[in-house]
A = this chain, B = another copy of it.
Amino acid sequence: MSKSQLDEVIHSFLVEMKRGTMTIIVLTQLQTKQYGYSLLTVLEKKKTGIEAGTLYPLLRRLEKQGLLQSEWDTSESRPRKFYQLSDLGKEVLERIKKEWDLLSNQMDHFLGEVL
């Protein structure tokens, strides 16, 4: 089979894996207050592969779900929207950490069977 078919399947797999993990990553980074563009550069440096077109809608979605709260800072020359975990967001992050550990152990169990 072709190399590109393999790469295509792997790429699709990675896209699907990001569903869920993107939320985890963003929640961990917003335990302390941070604005969108700053978070974007941090996540780019950490090689998450996230783009602006993905991050900003995700921030808004998480805020809509009540996990984040935001406030505008217009004191600088450029207005910036700062985000931070809400109380619900903090609880969700605690639970997600536990769920991730369970899932990760399960995946390690299954992948331990790979010949």
- Whether A28 contacts B110 by the Cβ 8 Å rule is yes
- Which residue of A25, A29, A67 has the most chain B CB atoms within 10 A of its CB atom? A25
Copy total for this chain: 2
Give the size of the chain A interface in residues (CB under 8 angstroms): 46
Interface residue? A58 (CB, 8 A): no
Using A1-B66, A13-B99 as known contacts, say yes or no to A111 and B6 having CB atoms under 8 A apart: no
- Whether A6 contacts B95 by the Cβ 8 Å rule is yes
Q: How far is the CB of A15 from chain B (nearest CB, A)?
A: 8
Give the residues from 5 to 49 in chain A that come closer than 8 angstroms, CB to CB, to chain B.
5-6, 9-10, 13-14, 16-17, 19-21, 23-25, 28-29, 31, 46-48
- Whether B111 contacts A28 by the Cβ 8 Å rule is yes
Please list the residues of chain A having a beta carbon within 8 angstroms of any beta carbon in chain B: 1, 5-6, 9-10, 13-14, 16-17, 19-21, 23-25, 28-29, 31, 46-48, 65-67, 87-88, 91-97, 99-100, 103-104, 106-111, 113-115
The 7 closest A-B pairs by CB, nearest first: A16-B20, A17-B20, A16-B19, A1-B88, A28-B110, A25-B110, A19-B19
